[in-house]
């Protein structure tokens, strides 16, 4: 049994798409179908329930094969990277998922630096919601997750990085824009552009406001930081955001960031990966670079 067939099967399950699995493995859709039939013939078991217009669903045998194949592929990748490293060549893939606010503003310089040092490495960065990043870490779809406000889970390791300072942001036309600093109590009743309630940074900001007995008037909620910034620029209200995420807007003078006189206030940042999983040398090197630069 060729390991490439197991990889194609796992990619088919992960993407739930014959066309996407084909693209990831540089083969045709018919080749993916043929490899699936080969597996089912080899084991004498149906692995996927499928039909026109129906989603792909794993059978009991398919779930066993998928779980064990993922473990085999992880070990093979680690072996491949270790042997390549022994030849003093860093190569292979590093699969990373992160939230937009970190991936767009904090991560790019480190990816660029890592690729300059190791041009044969492919760093695949995916932007996703926090809950999906945790799931991807647990099922082995990614090697590392980078999240804000990381929370403990029994099956995950957390590497805490340097906390990010939070600032109040408003449009240049806002009455608060003339101040140098502001205190939380001065935000009482202010129209406020917030993250959605299930976003960890929103929960941290809600706790912060509650601790200081400050009630704001939430006018709208979004799941990503870019839309929040555009809304504040348009004058819908103020917001509390990571300072690093508004540097470009502050430089262009489309947003005004204000530090907190009664602060500093921060949000925590961490890298997560699955416990007990052996990280390959390439992933370990990338993790070391991140902890050195962001730690």
CATH code: domain of residue 205? 3.40.190.10
| 144 shares a domain with 20 | no
Task: For residue range 122-159, list pLDDT tens digits in order.
Answer: 899 999 889 999 998 988 889 999 999 998 888 899 99
Within-domain flag for 277:
yes
- Say how far apart CA 10 and CA 75 lie, in whole Å: 14
Same domain, 255 and 183: yes
CA distances in angstroms from 5 to 2, 33, 59, 141, 169, listed in the order given = 6, 11, 18, 17, 51
pLDDT score of 76: 84
The answer on 135 and 198 residing in a single domain is no
> Does residue 277 share a domain with residue 155?
yes
Q: Which of 71, 103, 119 is the last residue of a domain?
A: 71
Residue 85 lies in a domain: no
Whether 161 contacts 147, CB under 8 Å = no
* Residue 84 resides in a domain: no
Secondary structure (DSSP) of 40-109: HHHHTS--EE--TT---EE-HHHHHHHHHHHHHHHHHHHHHHHHHHHTT---EEEEEEE-HHHHTTTSHH
**Residue 155 to residue 275: CA distance in whole angstroms:** 5
How far apart, in whole angstroms, are the C-alpha atoms of residue 16 and residue 289?
33
Q: Over the stretch 60-91, which tens digit does the pLDDT of each residue have? A: 999 999 999 888 888 887 777 666 655 455 67
Residue ranges in the chain whose pLDDT is less than 50: 87
Kindly state whether residue 79 falls inside one of the protein's structural domains. no
Looking up residue 53, the CATH number of its domain turns out to be: 1.10.10.10
pLDDT at 86: 53
Co-location of 157 and 275 in the same domain? yes
Q: Which of 13, 39, 71 is the endpoint of a domain?
A: 71
Q: Tell whether 145 and 283 lie within a shared domain.
A: yes
In a domain, 130, yes or no: yes
Residue 235 dihedral angles phi and psi, to the nearest 5°: 85, 15
Structure tokens at 69: 């194949």
| 259 and 170 housed in the same domain | yes
pLDDT confidence of residue 53:
64
Same structural domain for residues 173 and 256? yes
Which residues 6+ apart lie within 8 Å of 171 measured at CB?
177, 232, 233, 234, 235, 254, 255, 256
Do 262 and 275 belong together in one domain?
no
| Kind plus residue range of the DSSP H or E element containing 208 | helix 200-211
In a domain, residue 191? The reply is: yes
Nearest C-alpha neighbor of 263 from the set 166, 178, 158: 166
Total structural domains within the chain: 3
Structural domain including 19 reads 1-71
**Is residue 258 a contact partner of residue 183, using CB atoms and an 8 Å limit?**
no
> In this structure, are 128 and 253 located in the same domain?
no
Structure tokens at 236: 């819908």
pLDDT of residue 184: 95
Shared domain for 157 and 291, answered yes or no, is yes
Same domain, 186 and 256: yes
């Amino acid at each position: 049994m060729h390991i490439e067939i197991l990889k194609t099967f796992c990619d088919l399950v992960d993407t739930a798409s014959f066309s996407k699995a084909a693209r990831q493995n540089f083969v045709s859709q018919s080749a993916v179908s043929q490899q699936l039939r080969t597996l089912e013939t080899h084991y004498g078991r149906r692995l996927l329930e499928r039909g026109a217009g129906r989603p792909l669903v794993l059978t009991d045998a398919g779930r066993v094969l998928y779980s064990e194949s993922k473990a085999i592929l992880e070990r093979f990748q680690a072996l491949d990277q270790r042997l390549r490293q022994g030849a003093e060549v860093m190569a292979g893939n590093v699969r990373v998922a992160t939230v937009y606010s970190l991936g767009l503003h904090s991560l790019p310089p480190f990816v660029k630096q890592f690729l300059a040092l190791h041009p044969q490495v492919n760093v695949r960065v995916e932007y996703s919601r926090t809950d999906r990043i945790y799931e991807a870490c647990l099922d082995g779809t990614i090697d590392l997750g980078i999240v804000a406000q990381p929370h403990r889970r029994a099956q995950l390791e957390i590497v805490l990085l340097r906390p990010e300072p939070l600032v109040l942001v408003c449009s240049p036309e806002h009455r608060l824009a003339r101040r140098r600093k502001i205190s939380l109590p001065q935000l009482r009743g202010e129209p406020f552009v917030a993250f959605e309630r299930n976003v960890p940074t929103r929960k941290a900001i809600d706790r912060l406001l509650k601790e200081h007995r400050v009630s704001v008037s939430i006018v709208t909620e979004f799941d990503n930081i870019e839309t929040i910034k555009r809304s504040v620029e348009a004058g819908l209200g103020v917001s509390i955001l990571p300072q690093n995420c508004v540097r470009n807007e502050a430089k262009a003078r489309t947003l005004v960031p204000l530090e907190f006189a009664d602060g500093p206030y921060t949000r925590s940042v961490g890298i997560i990966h699955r416990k007990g999983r052996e990280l390959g040398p390439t992933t370990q090197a990338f993790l070391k670079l991140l902890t050195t630069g962001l730690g």
